[in-house]
Amino acid sequence: MEKIKILIVGGTFNKDGGKRSGLIQKMAINITNNVFLREDVESVWVINSGTVETLHTAIIEQVKNYDIVLWMPNVSNDELKIRNVKEINPKCILINSKRNDGDKYSFADLISRSLSAKANLTIEFKKAENGFNMLVFDPLGNEYYNGTDVIEMSRILIERAIVLANMT
């Protein structure tokens, strides 16, 4: 069996080089620490911010080289967004996210977005008193995590993604 390669893309991407996300950084550290205890993971590459131009050229081109892709870049609505990750790498396990402060979107809306992106897993982020509430679910509506602990969420998320990546 080939070893799994993981790509994590998050943070803000804009014309000025973007801004790193503390939440993405915590997720990346926890995922990296957890997966390197496993023999079936080869590498984790984390990109936490950058320019929109780099996102649309160099970074999106790398998607085809990874088995698990966490695609969570924050891009302004004034910019062209990349929504075709699965077209570039149909075999990858795609994890996307949606910010849903104030329950702007229903759970059915979130599932519809996941299906249209062909995501295998989605993370819903909502502002909470001490950070974010995070809900990890698949396009069938199965929930794998619902809470505020980014360490536990990251562990459960990547464990589920690795299970999916190992399915034939």
**pLDDT for 88-133, tens place per residue?**
999 999 999 999 999 999 999 999 999 999 999 999 999 988 889 9
Helix (H, G, I), strand (E, B), or coil: what is residue 109?
helix
Give the chain's radius of gyration (CA, Å).
Answer: 15
Q: Helices (H) and strands (E) in the chain — how many of each?
A: 6, 7
Residue 14: the pLDDT is: 96
Residue 33: the pLDDT is: 87
Residue 1: the pLDDT is: 57
Residue 94: the pLDDT is: 98
pLDDT band at residue 5, thresholds of 50, 70 and 90? very high
User: Do residues 30 and 46 touch, judged by C-beta distance below 8 A?
Assistant: no
In terms of DSSP H, where are the helices of the chain?
A: 22-35, 52-54, 60-62, 85-88, 107-117, 150-166
Q: What is the mean pLDDT of residues 5-27?
A: 95
What proportion of the chain, given as a percentage, has pLDDT over 90?
86
